[in-house]
A and B are shown apart, each in its own frame.
Chain A
């Protein structure tokens, strides 16, 4: 059973980690856009 839960948990850890990188990249780009607009 532990292998089963490990596989399902690993799947969602990978997806959530990727989604977190998308959010981080989006926030960083928005900041850059704001800075460029101010210039």
Chain B
């Protein structure tokens, strides 16, 4: 993996640059919203990436609950943290798009509110992991993650089940999209997936190192408790 990391890094940088070109230049300008619609390429790509990361977090948490695997626990914490970063991008770019299009920054619409709740659930998950000193923290976090994941389909399908102000889904929503717009969206999503993978891998290595330090510190304190003999 050490050799593949720089290659994937270069590939991701190329994809992100190409995605930016597609979003800002190559994709046609939408007729009613104009240039501001181009925010969609980052907003939707980030949302899909966050959903995928939270789904991996759910799977890893279930595996942890069944097998008590430390690797699954590490994957869960990594995907939750990186997922929160991508969800933050969604919650920031959404209002920046809404202001010129809807005339307001925010509305308590089902899609927007459920996304905010999703973000809050995973922020509380990370706070639990950060500040709890109980030995049961990974178990409690895994249970929270399983319940938190229930909000992911709610966010995604909310625009089908409820009357909302949010635009209808791009795929499976009955609407149509220009093929060049779809190309720009998919390129950006692929670029964000590669970027998310790289961040997750770096964060995973950090998590492994953090656990090693914790282990060394506990061994040291045991050694000191025995009088340093």
Interface residues of A (CB under 8 A from B): 1, 3-4, 6-8, 10-11, 14-15, 18-19, 22, 25-26, 29-30, 32-33, 36, 39
| Band of interface residues on B | 20 to 34
Q: Is the interface of B mostly helix, strand, loop or mixed?
A: helix
* Residue B216 is within 8 A (CB to CB) of chain A in the complex: yes
A sample of 5 cross-chain residue pairs with beta-carbon separation below 8 angstroms, ordered by A number, consists of A7-B43, A19-B199, A22-B202, A29-B210, A33-B213
How far, in whole Å, are A4 and B37 apart by their CA atoms in the complex?
8
A10 contacts B93, CB within 8 Å? yes
| Chain A interface main SS type | helix
Residues of B within 8 A of A15 (CB): 85, 89, 195
B96 within 8 A of A: yes
**Per-residue A-contact encoding for B186-227, CB less than 8 Å = 1, 0 else:** 000000000100010011001001101100110010000000
